[in-house]
Amino acid sequence: MTPALAKRMISSEILKLRKKRSTMLWVLFLGAGSMVIYYAYAALDHASDPAHHGPAGGTLGFARGLQGLAILVGPLAAAMIGTEAGTGDVAAGVLRDLVATGRSRIALFLARIPAALFLTLACLAVGLTVAVVASFALADGSATPHLGLIASGAGWVLLADGIVCVIAVGLGSLTGSRAMTLTALIGWELVLSPQLLDAASFGSARQALLDGALVRIEPHPLPNGTPHLPMSIVLVVVAITLWPLVLAALGAWRTATRDA
Amino acid sequence: MTTKHATDSMLAIETIGLTKHYGERVAVDAVNLIVPRGVVYGLLGHNGAGKTTLIRMLLGLTRCSAGQVRLLGRLLPEHRADALARVGALVEEPKFHPHLTGRENLRVVADVRGLEVRARIAPALERVGLSNRADDRVNRYSLGMRQRLGVARALLADPELLILDEPSNRLDPAGTVEFRQLIRSFAQEERTVFLSSHQLGEVEKVCDAAAIIDRGRVLEHGTIEELARGRGQELTIGCDDPAAAISALDGCVTRARRSNGILRVTLAGDPRPSAAAVNSKLVDAGLSVWHLQLERATLEQRFLEITSTVGAAT
Protein backbone atom coordinates (compact mmCIF):
# COMPACT_ATOMS: atom_id res chain seq x y z
CA MET A 1 0.00 0.00 0.00
CA THR A 2 1.37 3.40 -0.99
CA PRO A 3 1.54 6.38 1.39
CA ALA A 4 -0.95 8.21 -0.84
CA LEU A 5 -3.47 5.41 -0.48
CA ALA A 6 -2.89 5.25 3.28
CA LYS A 7 -3.56 8.99 3.43
CA ARG A 8 -6.81 8.49 1.49
CA MET A 9 -7.92 5.74 3.85
CA ILE A 10 -7.16 7.89 6.88
CA SER A 11 -9.05 10.84 5.38
CA SER A 12 -12.06 8.56 4.87
CA GLU A 13 -11.87 7.50 8.50
CA ILE A 14 -11.75 11.16 9.51
CA LEU A 15 -14.80 11.82 7.33
CA LYS A 16 -16.74 9.04 9.08
CA LEU A 17 -15.82 10.41 12.49
CA ARG A 18 -16.26 14.12 11.95
CA LYS A 19 -19.67 13.60 10.35
CA LYS A 20 -20.84 11.82 13.49
CA ARG A 21 -22.27 15.02 14.86
CA SER A 22 -23.48 13.85 18.25
CA THR A 23 -20.09 12.35 19.11
CA MET A 24 -18.21 15.37 17.85
CA LEU A 25 -20.38 17.78 19.82
CA TRP A 26 -19.81 15.77 23.00
CA VAL A 27 -16.09 15.64 22.38
CA LEU A 28 -15.91 19.38 21.75
CA PHE A 29 -17.95 19.99 24.86
CA LEU A 30 -15.66 17.78 26.94
CA GLY A 31 -12.44 19.04 25.40
CA ALA A 32 -13.17 22.75 25.14
CA GLY A 33 -16.58 23.52 26.67
CA SER A 34 -15.63 22.01 30.00
CA MET A 35 -12.54 24.23 30.13
CA VAL A 36 -14.63 27.33 29.46
CA ILE A 37 -17.07 26.33 32.18
CA TYR A 38 -14.27 25.51 34.63
CA TYR A 39 -12.43 28.81 34.19
CA ALA A 40 -15.66 30.84 34.21
CA TYR A 41 -16.71 29.17 37.45
CA ALA A 42 -13.26 29.64 39.03
CA ALA A 43 -13.21 33.29 37.93
CA LEU A 44 -16.62 33.88 39.54
CA ASP A 45 -15.43 32.18 42.74
CA HIS A 46 -12.33 34.38 42.84
CA ALA A 47 -14.31 37.52 42.12
CA SER A 48 -16.84 36.79 44.86
CA ASP A 49 -14.33 35.77 47.56
CA PRO A 50 -10.68 36.52 46.63
CA ALA A 51 -9.49 35.68 50.16
CA HIS A 52 -10.54 32.05 49.91
CA HIS A 53 -10.36 31.44 46.18
CA GLY A 54 -7.20 32.20 44.25
CA PRO A 55 -7.19 33.49 40.68
CA ALA A 56 -8.71 31.21 38.08
CA GLY A 57 -5.68 31.68 35.86
CA GLY A 58 -1.96 31.87 36.54
CA THR A 59 0.39 28.90 36.77
CA LEU A 60 -1.78 27.05 39.28
CA GLY A 61 -4.96 27.58 37.24
CA PHE A 62 -3.12 26.38 34.16
CA ALA A 63 -1.93 23.25 35.98
CA ARG A 64 -5.50 22.51 37.12
CA GLY A 65 -6.71 22.89 33.57
CA LEU A 66 -3.98 20.53 32.36
CA GLN A 67 -4.90 17.91 34.90
CA GLY A 68 -8.57 18.14 33.92
CA LEU A 69 -7.66 17.67 30.28
CA ALA A 70 -5.17 14.87 30.88
CA ILE A 71 -6.86 12.87 33.61
CA LEU A 72 -10.58 13.70 33.64
CA VAL A 73 -12.43 15.15 30.63
CA GLY A 74 -9.73 14.62 28.01
CA PRO A 75 -9.70 10.84 28.41
CA LEU A 76 -13.49 10.79 28.12
CA ALA A 77 -13.30 12.74 24.88
CA ALA A 78 -10.51 10.49 23.62
CA ALA A 79 -12.45 7.38 24.62
CA MET A 80 -15.54 8.57 22.73
CA ILE A 81 -13.68 9.21 19.49
CA GLY A 82 -11.53 6.10 19.78
CA THR A 83 -14.55 3.93 20.49
CA GLU A 84 -16.41 5.37 17.53
CA ALA A 85 -13.41 4.73 15.30
CA GLY A 86 -12.99 1.18 16.60
CA THR A 87 -16.61 0.11 16.43
CA GLY A 88 -18.10 2.28 13.65
CA ASP A 89 -17.66 -0.11 10.73
CA VAL A 90 -18.85 -3.16 12.64
CA ALA A 91 -21.82 -1.31 14.14
CA ALA A 92 -22.92 0.04 10.76
CA GLY A 93 -22.42 -3.39 9.16
CA VAL A 94 -20.03 -2.05 6.51
CA LEU A 95 -16.93 -3.95 7.61
CA ARG A 96 -17.87 -6.76 5.22
CA ASP A 97 -18.02 -4.31 2.30
CA LEU A 98 -14.58 -2.97 3.16
CA VAL A 99 -13.17 -6.48 3.60
CA ALA A 100 -14.73 -7.52 0.27
CA THR A 101 -12.55 -4.94 -1.49
CA GLY A 102 -9.58 -7.23 -0.85
CA ARG A 103 -7.79 -4.61 1.23
CA SER A 104 -5.91 -6.10 4.18
CA ARG A 105 -7.93 -6.11 7.37
CA ILE A 106 -4.89 -4.91 9.28
CA ALA A 107 -4.67 -1.90 6.96
CA LEU A 108 -8.35 -1.19 7.63
CA PHE A 109 -7.65 -1.30 11.36
CA LEU A 110 -4.50 0.79 11.20
CA ALA A 111 -6.23 3.60 9.30
CA ARG A 112 -8.54 4.11 12.28
CA ILE A 113 -5.78 5.08 14.69
CA PRO A 114 -4.35 8.22 13.05
CA ALA A 115 -7.85 9.38 12.15
CA ALA A 116 -9.06 9.08 15.74
CA LEU A 117 -5.86 10.65 17.06
CA PHE A 118 -6.15 13.57 14.65
CA LEU A 119 -9.67 14.46 15.77
CA THR A 120 -9.00 13.82 19.46
CA LEU A 121 -5.91 15.98 19.50
CA ALA A 122 -7.60 18.70 17.44
CA CYS A 123 -10.45 18.96 19.94
CA LEU A 124 -8.07 18.91 22.89
CA ALA A 125 -5.92 21.57 21.25
CA VAL A 126 -8.96 23.84 21.47
CA GLY A 127 -9.26 22.99 25.18
CA LEU A 128 -5.55 23.67 25.67
CA THR A 129 -5.91 27.02 23.94
CA VAL A 130 -8.72 27.90 26.33
CA ALA A 131 -6.50 26.92 29.29
CA VAL A 132 -3.55 29.00 28.04
CA VAL A 133 -5.69 32.06 27.33
CA ALA A 134 -7.47 31.77 30.69
CA SER A 135 -4.21 31.30 32.59
CA PHE A 136 -3.02 34.69 31.32
CA ALA A 137 -6.33 36.53 31.16
CA LEU A 138 -7.46 35.42 34.61
CA ALA A 139 -4.07 35.52 36.39
CA ASP A 140 -5.05 38.61 38.40
CA GLY A 141 -1.44 39.45 39.20
CA SER A 142 -0.29 35.91 40.00
CA ALA A 143 2.58 34.21 38.13
CA THR A 144 1.71 33.06 34.63
CA PRO A 145 2.97 29.83 33.02
CA HIS A 146 6.23 30.14 31.12
CA LEU A 147 6.64 28.81 27.59
CA GLY A 148 8.40 25.62 28.77
CA LEU A 149 5.51 24.73 31.05
CA ILE A 150 2.97 25.47 28.32
CA ALA A 151 4.84 23.26 25.86
CA SER A 152 5.44 20.40 28.28
CA GLY A 153 1.87 20.68 29.59
CA ALA A 154 0.44 20.51 26.08
CA GLY A 155 2.68 17.56 25.30
CA TRP A 156 1.59 15.79 28.46
CA VAL A 157 -2.12 16.30 27.74
CA LEU A 158 -1.81 15.18 24.15
CA LEU A 159 0.26 12.14 25.14
CA ALA A 160 -2.15 11.10 27.91
CA ASP A 161 -5.26 11.49 25.77
CA GLY A 162 -3.62 10.09 22.67
CA ILE A 163 -2.83 6.91 24.59
CA VAL A 164 -6.43 6.62 25.79
CA CYS A 165 -7.61 7.18 22.22
CA VAL A 166 -5.44 4.35 20.87
CA ILE A 167 -6.59 2.09 23.69
CA ALA A 168 -10.21 2.92 22.83
CA VAL A 169 -9.66 2.14 19.13
CA GLY A 170 -8.11 -1.19 20.09
CA LEU A 171 -10.73 -2.11 22.65
CA GLY A 172 -13.56 -0.99 20.35
CA SER A 173 -12.18 -3.09 17.52
CA LEU A 174 -11.81 -6.01 19.91
CA THR A 175 -15.35 -5.91 21.29
CA GLY A 176 -17.18 -4.41 18.32
CA SER A 177 -19.58 -2.85 20.80
CA ARG A 178 -19.77 0.87 21.53
CA ALA A 179 -21.68 0.44 24.78
CA MET A 180 -19.35 -2.21 26.14
CA THR A 181 -16.20 -0.32 25.19
CA LEU A 182 -17.34 3.04 26.56
CA THR A 183 -18.63 1.50 29.78
CA ALA A 184 -15.37 -0.37 30.29
CA LEU A 185 -13.21 2.68 29.56
CA ILE A 186 -15.21 5.16 31.63
CA GLY A 187 -15.48 2.70 34.49
CA TRP A 188 -11.76 2.12 34.36
CA GLU A 189 -10.74 5.76 33.98
CA LEU A 190 -13.10 7.29 36.52
CA VAL A 191 -13.60 4.53 39.09
CA LEU A 192 -11.28 1.55 39.01
CA SER A 193 -7.96 3.12 38.08
CA PRO A 194 -8.10 5.90 40.77
CA GLN A 195 -9.16 3.34 43.39
CA LEU A 196 -6.32 1.00 42.50
CA LEU A 197 -3.82 3.87 42.51
CA ASP A 198 -4.91 4.78 46.03
CA ALA A 199 -4.81 1.18 47.28
CA ALA A 200 -1.41 1.00 49.00
CA SER A 201 -1.92 -2.73 49.58
CA PHE A 202 -1.25 -3.32 45.88
CA GLY A 203 2.27 -2.02 46.40
CA SER A 204 4.51 -1.91 43.36
CA ALA A 205 1.88 -3.66 41.20
CA ARG A 206 0.33 -0.19 40.82
CA GLN A 207 3.29 0.78 38.70
CA ALA A 208 1.65 -1.12 35.88
CA LEU A 209 -1.27 1.32 35.88
CA LEU A 210 -1.31 3.83 33.06
CA ASP A 211 -2.60 6.68 35.22
CA GLY A 212 0.23 6.15 37.70
CA ALA A 213 2.74 6.51 34.90
CA LEU A 214 1.03 9.60 33.48
CA VAL A 215 0.79 11.36 36.84
CA ARG A 216 4.46 10.54 37.43
CA ILE A 217 5.44 12.70 34.44
CA GLU A 218 2.97 15.49 35.16
CA PRO A 219 4.82 18.73 34.31
CA HIS A 220 3.44 20.83 37.19
CA PRO A 221 2.08 18.68 40.02
CA LEU A 222 -0.74 20.24 42.05
CA PRO A 223 -0.32 20.65 45.80
CA ASN A 224 -3.28 18.36 46.54
CA GLY A 225 -3.28 16.39 43.31
CA THR A 226 -3.08 12.66 42.69
CA PRO A 227 -0.16 11.22 44.69
CA HIS A 228 2.88 10.16 42.69
CA LEU A 229 4.01 6.55 42.70
CA PRO A 230 7.73 6.10 43.08
CA MET A 231 8.30 4.89 39.51
CA SER A 232 11.46 4.98 37.45
CA ILE A 233 11.25 6.67 34.06
CA VAL A 234 11.93 3.29 32.44
CA LEU A 235 8.80 1.88 34.05
CA VAL A 236 6.84 4.96 32.98
CA VAL A 237 7.94 4.42 29.39
CA VAL A 238 7.10 0.72 29.58
CA ALA A 239 3.60 1.44 30.97
CA ILE A 240 2.70 4.15 28.48
CA THR A 241 4.01 2.04 25.59
CA LEU A 242 2.58 -1.33 26.51
CA TRP A 243 -0.99 -0.28 27.28
CA PRO A 244 -1.79 1.15 23.84
CA LEU A 245 0.38 -1.41 22.07
CA VAL A 246 -1.32 -4.43 23.65
CA LEU A 247 -4.84 -3.09 23.15
CA ALA A 248 -4.09 -2.06 19.56
CA ALA A 249 -2.66 -5.52 18.87
CA LEU A 250 -5.78 -7.15 20.27
CA GLY A 251 -7.97 -4.86 18.17
CA ALA A 252 -5.95 -5.64 15.05
CA TRP A 253 -6.12 -9.37 15.74
CA ARG A 254 -9.90 -9.26 16.17
CA THR A 255 -10.38 -7.18 13.03
CA ALA A 256 -8.29 -9.69 11.11
CA THR A 257 -10.13 -12.73 12.42
CA ARG A 258 -13.75 -11.74 12.94
CA ASP A 259 -16.45 -12.86 10.51
CA ALA A 260 -17.17 -9.70 8.53
CA MET B 1 -22.91 -23.93 -18.79
CA THR B 2 -20.75 -25.57 -16.16
CA THR B 3 -18.26 -27.47 -18.21
CA LYS B 4 -15.42 -29.83 -17.57
CA HIS B 5 -13.54 -28.38 -20.53
CA ALA B 6 -13.24 -24.88 -19.16
CA THR B 7 -9.71 -23.71 -18.48
CA ASP B 8 -8.65 -21.58 -15.53
CA SER B 9 -8.43 -18.41 -17.56
CA MET B 10 -12.03 -18.86 -18.67
CA LEU B 11 -13.37 -19.23 -15.16
CA ALA B 12 -14.79 -16.51 -13.00
CA ILE B 13 -15.31 -18.78 -10.01
CA GLU B 14 -13.98 -22.22 -9.23
CA THR B 15 -14.44 -23.99 -5.93
CA ILE B 16 -13.17 -27.43 -5.03
CA GLY B 17 -14.59 -29.22 -2.00
CA LEU B 18 -15.57 -25.93 -0.39
CA THR B 19 -16.86 -26.64 3.10
CA LYS B 20 -17.97 -24.60 6.06
CA HIS B 21 -18.77 -25.98 9.50
CA TYR B 22 -20.34 -24.05 12.36
CA GLY B 23 -19.53 -26.42 15.18
CA GLU B 24 -21.28 -29.68 14.34
CA ARG B 25 -23.50 -28.10 11.71
CA VAL B 26 -22.35 -28.24 8.10
CA ALA B 27 -23.49 -25.07 6.34
CA VAL B 28 -21.69 -25.72 3.05
CA ASP B 29 -20.71 -29.27 2.19
CA ALA B 30 -17.88 -29.97 -0.26
CA VAL B 31 -19.17 -27.70 -3.00
CA ASN B 32 -17.55 -27.95 -6.41
CA LEU B 33 -18.64 -25.05 -8.54
CA ILE B 34 -17.44 -23.81 -11.89
CA VAL B 35 -18.69 -20.49 -13.23
CA PRO B 36 -17.37 -19.45 -16.63
CA ARG B 37 -16.69 -15.82 -17.40
CA GLY B 38 -19.25 -13.62 -19.12
CA VAL B 39 -22.42 -15.35 -17.95
CA VAL B 40 -25.15 -14.57 -15.47
CA TYR B 41 -25.01 -17.51 -13.12
CA GLY B 42 -27.61 -18.19 -10.47
CA LEU B 43 -27.22 -19.97 -7.17
CA LEU B 44 -30.68 -21.22 -6.42
CA GLY B 45 -31.78 -22.51 -3.06
CA HIS B 46 -34.28 -22.24 -0.26
CA ASN B 47 -33.64 -19.84 2.60
CA GLY B 48 -30.94 -21.40 4.76
CA ALA B 49 -29.67 -23.64 1.96
CA GLY B 50 -26.13 -22.24 2.31
CA LYS B 51 -26.13 -19.61 -0.44
CA THR B 52 -25.00 -16.68 1.68
CA THR B 53 -22.38 -18.73 3.52
CA LEU B 54 -20.96 -19.84 0.17
CA ILE B 55 -20.82 -16.24 -1.04
CA ARG B 56 -19.23 -15.08 2.20
CA MET B 57 -16.49 -17.67 1.73
CA LEU B 58 -15.93 -16.57 -1.87
CA LEU B 59 -15.36 -13.02 -0.64
CA GLY B 60 -13.17 -13.96 2.32
CA LEU B 61 -15.71 -12.64 4.81
CA THR B 62 -15.63 -15.91 6.66
CA ARG B 63 -12.99 -18.62 6.72
CA CYS B 64 -13.48 -21.87 4.84
CA SER B 65 -13.33 -25.03 6.96
CA ALA B 66 -11.95 -26.92 3.96
CA GLY B 67 -11.60 -26.67 0.21
CA GLN B 68 -10.26 -24.25 -2.33
CA VAL B 69 -11.55 -21.09 -4.00
CA ARG B 70 -10.30 -19.44 -7.15
CA LEU B 71 -11.74 -16.12 -8.26
CA LEU B 72 -10.85 -14.87 -11.73
CA GLY B 73 -8.17 -17.55 -11.85
CA ARG B 74 -6.51 -16.48 -8.58
CA LEU B 75 -6.28 -18.76 -5.60
CA LEU B 76 -7.69 -17.48 -2.30
CA PRO B 77 -6.61 -16.51 0.30
CA GLU B 78 -3.07 -16.29 -1.13
CA HIS B 79 -4.03 -13.88 -3.93
CA ARG B 80 -7.09 -12.42 -2.27
CA ALA B 81 -6.22 -8.75 -2.82
CA ASP B 82 -5.56 -9.24 -6.56
CA ALA B 83 -8.69 -11.30 -7.05
CA LEU B 84 -11.06 -9.06 -5.14
CA ALA B 85 -9.72 -5.90 -6.76
CA ARG B 86 -11.93 -6.70 -9.77
CA VAL B 87 -14.85 -8.18 -7.85
CA GLY B 88 -17.88 -6.14 -6.82
CA ALA B 89 -20.22 -7.57 -4.23
CA LEU B 90 -23.56 -7.00 -2.63
CA VAL B 91 -23.98 -9.33 0.32
CA GLU B 92 -27.29 -9.69 2.17
CA GLU B 93 -29.02 -6.42 3.02
CA PRO B 94 -26.80 -3.52 1.90
CA LYS B 95 -25.46 -1.62 4.89
CA PHE B 96 -24.05 1.90 5.02
CA HIS B 97 -22.96 4.53 7.48
CA PRO B 98 -26.37 6.14 8.00
CA HIS B 99 -24.93 9.53 8.97
CA LEU B 100 -23.07 9.86 5.68
CA THR B 101 -24.53 10.72 2.29
CA GLY B 102 -24.73 8.18 -0.50
CA ARG B 103 -21.76 9.79 -2.22
CA GLU B 104 -19.71 9.84 0.99
CA ASN B 105 -20.47 6.18 1.62
CA LEU B 106 -19.13 5.38 -1.83
CA ARG B 107 -16.08 7.56 -1.16
CA VAL B 108 -15.28 5.49 1.93
CA VAL B 109 -15.13 2.29 -0.14
CA ALA B 110 -13.45 3.99 -3.11
CA ASP B 111 -10.63 5.22 -0.89
CA VAL B 112 -10.08 1.70 0.40
CA ARG B 113 -10.05 0.28 -3.14
CA GLY B 114 -7.46 2.58 -4.67
CA LEU B 115 -6.44 6.06 -5.69
CA GLU B 116 -8.14 6.06 -9.08
CA VAL B 117 -11.47 4.74 -7.81
CA ARG B 118 -12.99 8.06 -6.69
CA ALA B 119 -13.44 8.91 -10.38
CA ARG B 120 -15.89 5.99 -10.69
CA ILE B 121 -18.28 7.31 -8.04
CA ALA B 122 -20.26 9.67 -10.26
CA PRO B 123 -20.68 7.17 -13.14
CA ALA B 124 -21.72 4.44 -10.68
CA LEU B 125 -24.36 6.71 -9.15
CA GLU B 126 -25.55 7.67 -12.62
CA ARG B 127 -25.76 4.02 -13.65
CA VAL B 128 -28.09 3.11 -10.78
CA GLY B 129 -30.14 6.30 -11.10
CA LEU B 130 -29.14 7.88 -7.80
CA SER B 131 -27.27 10.97 -8.99
CA ASN B 132 -29.97 13.37 -7.84
CA ARG B 133 -30.12 11.87 -4.33
CA ALA B 134 -26.42 11.21 -3.90
CA ASP B 135 -25.93 14.05 -1.44
CA ASP B 136 -28.78 13.01 0.85
CA ARG B 137 -27.91 11.13 3.98
CA VAL B 138 -28.44 7.40 3.64
CA ASN B 139 -30.76 7.28 6.65
CA ARG B 140 -33.27 9.06 4.40
CA TYR B 141 -33.04 6.43 1.65
CA SER B 142 -35.74 3.85 0.98
CA LEU B 143 -34.80 0.17 0.91
CA GLY B 144 -34.83 0.18 -2.88
CA MET B 145 -32.51 3.17 -2.98
CA ARG B 146 -30.13 1.46 -0.56
CA GLN B 147 -30.17 -1.59 -2.79
CA ARG B 148 -29.24 0.55 -5.78
CA LEU B 149 -26.54 2.30 -3.78
CA GLY B 150 -25.22 -1.14 -2.89
CA VAL B 151 -24.94 -1.95 -6.59
CA ALA B 152 -23.21 1.38 -7.19
CA ARG B 153 -20.74 0.44 -4.46
CA ALA B 154 -20.12 -2.90 -6.16
CA LEU B 155 -19.51 -1.10 -9.47
CA LEU B 156 -16.67 0.92 -7.97
CA ALA B 157 -14.44 -2.12 -8.57
CA ASP B 158 -15.14 -1.85 -12.32
CA PRO B 159 -15.84 -5.51 -11.73
CA GLU B 160 -15.07 -8.42 -13.99
CA LEU B 161 -17.17 -10.40 -11.54
CA LEU B 162 -20.23 -9.17 -9.67
CA ILE B 163 -21.41 -11.25 -6.75
CA LEU B 164 -24.94 -10.37 -5.71
CA ASP B 165 -26.68 -12.03 -2.80
CA GLU B 166 -30.48 -12.01 -3.17
CA PRO B 167 -30.31 -8.74 -5.12
CA SER B 168 -34.02 -8.29 -5.81
CA ASN B 169 -35.24 -9.28 -2.37
CA ARG B 170 -36.27 -5.86 -1.21
CA LEU B 171 -37.43 -4.41 -4.50
CA ASP B 172 -40.97 -3.63 -5.62
CA PRO B 173 -42.14 -5.16 -8.94
CA ALA B 174 -41.04 -2.15 -11.00
CA GLY B 175 -37.69 -2.14 -9.22
CA THR B 176 -37.31 -5.85 -9.88
CA VAL B 177 -37.80 -5.40 -13.62
CA GLU B 178 -35.34 -2.50 -13.63
CA PHE B 179 -32.85 -4.57 -11.68
CA ARG B 180 -33.20 -7.47 -14.10
CA GLN B 181 -32.37 -5.13 -16.99
CA LEU B 182 -29.38 -3.81 -15.07
CA ILE B 183 -28.04 -7.33 -14.52
CA ARG B 184 -28.50 -8.25 -18.18
CA SER B 185 -26.68 -5.06 -19.14
CA PHE B 186 -23.70 -6.18 -17.03
CA ALA B 187 -23.64 -9.42 -18.99
CA GLN B 188 -23.67 -7.46 -22.25
CA GLU B 189 -20.55 -5.68 -21.01
CA GLU B 190 -18.97 -9.14 -20.63
CA ARG B 191 -18.96 -8.96 -16.87
CA THR B 192 -19.75 -12.17 -15.03
CA VAL B 193 -22.67 -11.95 -12.62
CA PHE B 194 -23.03 -14.55 -9.90
CA LEU B 195 -26.28 -14.09 -8.04
CA SER B 196 -28.00 -16.06 -5.35
CA SER B 197 -31.75 -16.20 -5.07
CA HIS B 198 -34.60 -18.23 -3.75
CA GLN B 199 -36.86 -16.66 -6.38
CA LEU B 200 -37.04 -19.26 -9.12
CA GLY B 201 -38.80 -17.06 -11.64
CA GLU B 202 -36.15 -14.42 -11.20
CA VAL B 203 -33.31 -16.84 -11.82
CA GLU B 204 -35.11 -18.29 -14.83
CA LYS B 205 -35.57 -14.85 -16.35
CA VAL B 206 -32.18 -13.37 -15.73
CA CYS B 207 -29.63 -16.22 -15.59
CA ASP B 208 -27.91 -18.17 -18.33
CA ALA B 209 -27.03 -21.00 -15.99
CA ALA B 210 -27.52 -21.96 -12.39
CA ALA B 211 -26.67 -24.37 -9.63
CA ILE B 212 -29.26 -25.70 -7.23
CA ILE B 213 -28.07 -25.82 -3.66
CA ASP B 214 -29.83 -27.47 -0.76
CA ARG B 215 -28.57 -28.21 2.76
CA GLY B 216 -25.16 -26.92 1.77
CA ARG B 217 -24.73 -29.24 -1.22
CA VAL B 218 -24.90 -28.43 -4.91
CA LEU B 219 -27.42 -30.92 -6.26
CA GLU B 220 -27.53 -29.99 -9.93
CA HIS B 221 -26.06 -27.41 -12.23
CA GLY B 222 -26.32 -26.49 -15.86
CA THR B 223 -27.98 -24.06 -18.20
CA ILE B 224 -31.47 -22.99 -17.19
CA GLU B 225 -32.89 -25.10 -20.02
CA GLU B 226 -30.92 -28.16 -18.95
CA LEU B 227 -31.95 -27.74 -15.36
CA ALA B 228 -35.61 -27.28 -16.22
CA ARG B 229 -35.63 -30.26 -18.54
CA GLY B 230 -33.83 -32.50 -16.11
CA ARG B 231 -32.70 -35.86 -17.40
CA GLY B 232 -35.66 -36.38 -19.70
CA GLN B 233 -37.96 -34.51 -22.02
CA GLU B 234 -41.66 -35.15 -21.42
CA LEU B 235 -44.14 -35.68 -24.22
CA THR B 236 -47.93 -35.97 -23.98
CA ILE B 237 -49.60 -38.28 -26.49
CA GLY B 238 -53.26 -38.65 -27.35
CA CYS B 239 -54.00 -41.85 -29.34
CA ASP B 240 -56.65 -44.51 -29.70
CA ASP B 241 -54.75 -47.23 -27.76
CA PRO B 242 -52.37 -45.97 -25.06
CA ALA B 243 -51.34 -49.49 -24.00
CA ALA B 244 -50.26 -50.32 -27.54
CA ALA B 245 -48.46 -46.99 -27.74
CA ILE B 246 -46.36 -47.89 -24.69
CA SER B 247 -45.35 -51.14 -26.35
CA ALA B 248 -44.55 -49.36 -29.60
CA LEU B 249 -42.30 -46.88 -27.81
CA ASP B 250 -40.41 -49.52 -25.87
CA GLY B 251 -36.73 -48.52 -25.68
CA CYS B 252 -37.15 -44.83 -26.31
CA VAL B 253 -39.08 -43.82 -23.19
CA THR B 254 -38.12 -44.30 -19.55
CA ARG B 255 -41.41 -43.58 -17.92
CA ALA B 256 -45.03 -43.63 -19.06
CA ARG B 257 -48.16 -42.57 -17.19
CA ARG B 258 -51.78 -42.59 -18.31
CA SER B 259 -54.29 -40.03 -17.22
CA ASN B 260 -57.77 -39.42 -18.71
CA GLY B 261 -56.81 -41.15 -21.92
CA ILE B 262 -53.66 -39.05 -22.35
CA LEU B 263 -50.30 -40.75 -22.20
CA ARG B 264 -47.36 -38.84 -20.66
CA VAL B 265 -43.95 -40.29 -21.47
CA THR B 266 -40.39 -39.29 -20.66
CA LEU B 267 -38.16 -39.57 -23.69
CA ALA B 268 -34.86 -41.38 -23.30
CA GLY B 269 -32.01 -42.69 -25.36
CA ASP B 270 -28.96 -41.18 -26.98
CA PRO B 271 -29.72 -39.38 -29.18
CA ARG B 272 -33.04 -38.55 -27.61
CA PRO B 273 -35.86 -39.20 -30.15
CA SER B 274 -37.69 -36.19 -31.52
CA ALA B 275 -41.47 -35.80 -31.32
CA ALA B 276 -41.62 -36.48 -35.05
CA ALA B 277 -39.74 -39.79 -34.59
CA VAL B 278 -42.16 -40.79 -31.84
CA ASN B 279 -45.07 -39.94 -34.10
CA SER B 280 -43.61 -42.12 -36.90
CA LYS B 281 -43.19 -45.06 -34.52
CA LEU B 282 -46.79 -44.77 -33.38
CA VAL B 283 -48.15 -44.44 -36.90
CA ASP B 284 -45.96 -47.36 -38.04
CA ALA B 285 -47.54 -49.40 -35.23
CA GLY B 286 -50.93 -48.66 -36.74
CA LEU B 287 -52.04 -46.24 -34.06
CA SER B 288 -54.11 -43.17 -34.70
CA VAL B 289 -52.45 -40.16 -33.07
CA TRP B 290 -54.61 -37.08 -32.45
CA HIS B 291 -52.44 -35.18 -29.94
CA LEU B 292 -48.67 -34.85 -29.55
CA GLN B 293 -47.03 -32.14 -27.47
CA LEU B 294 -43.60 -31.60 -25.93
CA GLU B 295 -43.99 -30.43 -22.36
CA ARG B 296 -41.73 -27.56 -21.33
CA ALA B 297 -40.87 -28.12 -17.69
CA THR B 298 -40.36 -25.01 -15.58
CA LEU B 299 -37.38 -24.49 -13.39
CA GLU B 300 -39.77 -24.29 -10.47
CA GLN B 301 -41.07 -27.82 -11.09
CA ARG B 302 -37.58 -29.14 -11.45
CA PHE B 303 -36.29 -27.31 -8.38
CA LEU B 304 -39.08 -28.66 -6.20
CA GLU B 305 -38.53 -32.13 -7.60
CA ILE B 306 -34.80 -32.05 -6.85
CA THR B 307 -35.00 -30.53 -3.41
CA SER B 308 -37.94 -32.69 -2.31
CA THR B 309 -36.01 -35.79 -3.36
CA VAL B 310 -33.18 -34.76 -1.11
CA GLY B 311 -35.58 -33.88 1.68
CA ALA B 312 -37.21 -37.30 1.47
CA ALA B 313 -33.87 -39.09 1.37
CA THR B 314 -32.44 -37.43 4.50
Top pLDDT among B17 and B172 is at: B17
**Where exactly does CATH 3.40.50.300 map onto chain B?**
8-86+159-228
| Residue in B83, B97, B104 closest to A102 by CB | B83
Q: Please report the pLDDT score of residue A225 as a whole number.
A: 62
Residue B133 pLDDT > 80: yes
Q: Please report the pLDDT score of residue B253 as a whole number.
A: 81
Q: Please report the pLDDT score of residue A223 as a whole number.
A: 65
What Å distances lie between residue A252 and A158, A164, B176, CA to CA? 23, 16, 40
Residues of A with CB under 8 A from a CB of B: 2, 4-5, 8-9, 11-12, 15-16, 19-21, 88, 92-94, 96-104, 108, 259-260
Mean pLDDT of B122-131: 94
pLDDT tens-digit readout, A69-79: 998 899 999 99
Lowest mean pLDDT, pick from A16-30, A211-225, A226-240, B8-22: A211-225
Q: From B53, which residue of chain A is nearest by alpha-carbon distance?
A: A259
Residue A143 pLDDT > 80: yes
Q: From B22, which residue of chain A is nearest by alpha-carbon distance?
A: A259
**Where exactly does CATH 3.30.70.100 map onto chain B?**
232-296
Strand order, beta sheet including B253-259: B253-259, B262-267, B233-239, B289-295
Cis peptide before B123 (omega within 30 of 0): no
CA distance A92 to chain B (A): 6
Which chain A residues are within 8 Å of B157, Cβ to Cβ? 101
CATH of domain B232-296: 3.30.70.100
Strand order, beta sheet including B209-214: B87-90, B161-165, B192-197, B40-44, B209-214, B217-223
| Residue in B81, B105, B153 closest to A102 by CB | B81
Which chain A residues are within 8 Å of B80, Cβ to Cβ? 102
Q: Please report the pLDDT score of residue B28 as a whole number.
A: 93
Cα–Cα distance for residue pair B157/B191, rounded to 1 Å: 12
pLDDT level of residue B6 (50, 70, 90 thresholds): very low
Cα–Cα distance for residue pair A4/A223, rounded to 1 Å: 48
Cα–Cα distance for residue pair B41/B208, rounded to 1 Å: 6
Q: Please report the pLDDT score of residue B7 as a whole number.
A: 44
Cα–Cα distance for residue pair B246/A143, rounded to 1 Å: 114
Which chain A residues are within 8 Å of B61, Cβ to Cβ? 96, 99-100, 259-260
Alpha helices in chain B (DSSP H): 51-58, 80-84, 102-113, 121-127, 143-155, 173-188, 200-206, 224-229, 242-248, 275-284, 299-313
- Nearest Cα neighbor of A85 from A189, A162, A182, A168 is A168
DSSP B51-75: HHHHHHHHTTSS--SEEEEEETTEE
Contact A102/B96, CB-based, under 8 Å?
Answer: no
Alpha helices in B220-298 (DSSP H): 224-229, 242-248, 275-284
Top pLDDT among B200 and A106 is at: A106
Which chain A residues are within 8 Å of B104, Cβ to Cβ? 15, 19
- Nearest Cα neighbor of A191 from A76, A22, A89 is A76
DSSP A174-219: HH--HHHHHHHHHIIIIIIHHHHHH-GGGGGGGGG-HHHHHHHT-S
CA distance A253 to chain B (A): 15
Mean pLDDT of B87-94: 92
Residue B161 pLDDT > 90: yes
- Compute the mean pLDDT over every residue in chain B, rounded to the nearest whole number: 87
Q: Please report the pLDDT score of residue B1 as a whole number.
A: 42
Contact B112/A103, CB-based, under 8 Å?
Answer: yes
B136 within 8 A of B101, measured Cβ to Cβ? yes
Residue A205 pLDDT > 70: yes
Q: Please report the pLDDT score of residue B274 as a whole number.
A: 79
- Nearest Cα neighbor of B187 from B159, B212, B150 is B159
What CATH superfamily is the domain B8-86+159-228? P-loop containing nucleotide triphosphate hydrolases (3.40.50.300)
Residue B4 pLDDT > 60: no
